[in-house]
Amino acid sequence: MRKIPPSTRRSGCPLNASVEMVGDRWSLLIVRDIMLGGASTYAEFLNGHERIATNILADRLRKLMKDGIIRAVPDPTDGRKRLYRLTGRGIDLAPVLTEMVLWAAGHEATGNRALTQQMRDKKKFLTGIRKRWQA
């Protein structure tokens, strides 16, 4: 696995590196929309349940690309548009998403029980995600 060189982070702690990259209100929701919801266009992200604002979406997409978590490819049906895909690094966020979902679902009455149920078998769920994305 290629590691990027150490950057100018507030500390060398790997948890700090994680929160500097995805520790905000929106980045992981965008990753979720791609990974689990099959979203790939700007319009699809805007239509997410949480109603992200356009300026925040644009900023987060830029930051996720800078951090190598997603990449943009031209839409083959319309070259002026871009499709957003997860990189290997982005796919590797699946266990983080899983644990965050299970944590909240364990402590609060949340919706989307089908997803939570699937995630409880972590190994099977993560294998499925990796297979789908590496295809």
Question: Minimum Å distance from CB 61 to a second copy?
Answer: 17
Q: For residues 73 and 104, which CB has a smaller minimum distance to a second copy in the complex?
A: 104
Token duo for residue 20: 């500097």
Check residue 49 for interaction with a second copy (CB under 8 A): yes
* One character per residue 2-41, x = contact with a second copy (rule: CB under 8 A): -xxxxx--xxxxxxxxxxxxxxxxx-xx--x---------
For tokens 């965008």, name the residue.
Answer: 30
Question: Minimum Å distance from CB 123 to a second copy?
Answer: 12
- Nearest residue to 72 (alpha-carbon basis) of 34, 25, 37: 34
In Å, how far are 1, 23, 56, 64, 89 from 4, measured between CA atoms? 10, 19, 26, 15, 11
The DSSP bridge partners found for residue 72 are 84
Question: Minimum Å distance from CB 15 to a second copy?
Answer: 5
Q: For residues 75 and 104, which CB has a smaller minimum distance to a second copy in the complex?
A: 104
